[in-house]
Amino acid sequence: MANVTNNRPLSPHLQIYKPIPTMVMSIVHRITGGALAVGTILLAWWLVAAASGETYFSWISWLFGTWIGLLVLFGYTWALVHHMLGGLRHFMWDMGHGFDKHFTTKMALAMPVASVCLTVLIWVVGALV
């Protein structure tokens, strides 16, 4: 039997494509979606602790108050903001706007900057309140 796969062209994959900003932001959008699933489990854990009693809630509050816990909460906040901005970008595309190549590249480059700035703003306002 002849091997018919030897003469077939290879499909392109990530080693062939040059990463462009819109592609990277698409990948980051998917990663933040997964991170939000894990962060929502942590949020549910905190709510269960609040309903379980003062001792367990105090322990969870202490855990989330450590520098590692605060780093995880900061990352969860960033993932939430970044995913929201990506969702708004997709909503804009669904409405038929912003398909110009240069505009989508500018939006993709602005997304990480805007998400970090908004996350820091949320944490500063949260610390002041």
Q: Domain containing 26 — which CATH number?
A: 1.20.1300.10
pLDDT at 34: 96
Instruction: Please report the DSSP string for the chain in residue order.
Output: ---GGGGSPPPP-TTTSPP-HHHHHHHHHHHHHHHHHHHHHHHHHHHHHHHH-HHHHHHHHHHHHSHHHHHHHHHHHHHHHHHHHHHHHHHHHHTT----HHHHHHHHHHHHHHHHHHHHHHHHHHHH-
**Average pLDDT of the segment spanning 81-89:** 96
Is residue 82 a part of any domain in this protein?
Answer: yes
Q: Indicate the burial class of 83 (C-beta count within 10 angstroms; 0-12, 13-18, 19 or more).
A: buried
Is residue 15 a part of any domain in this protein?
Answer: no
Is residue 30 a part of any domain in this protein?
Answer: yes
Is residue 122 a part of any domain in this protein?
Answer: yes
Domain extent, residue 44, equals 22-128
Domain count along the chain? 1
Q: pLDDT tens digit string along 69-79?
A: 999 999 999 99
pLDDT at 54: 95
Is residue 3 a part of any domain in this protein?
Answer: no
**Average pLDDT of the segment spanning 72-96:** 96
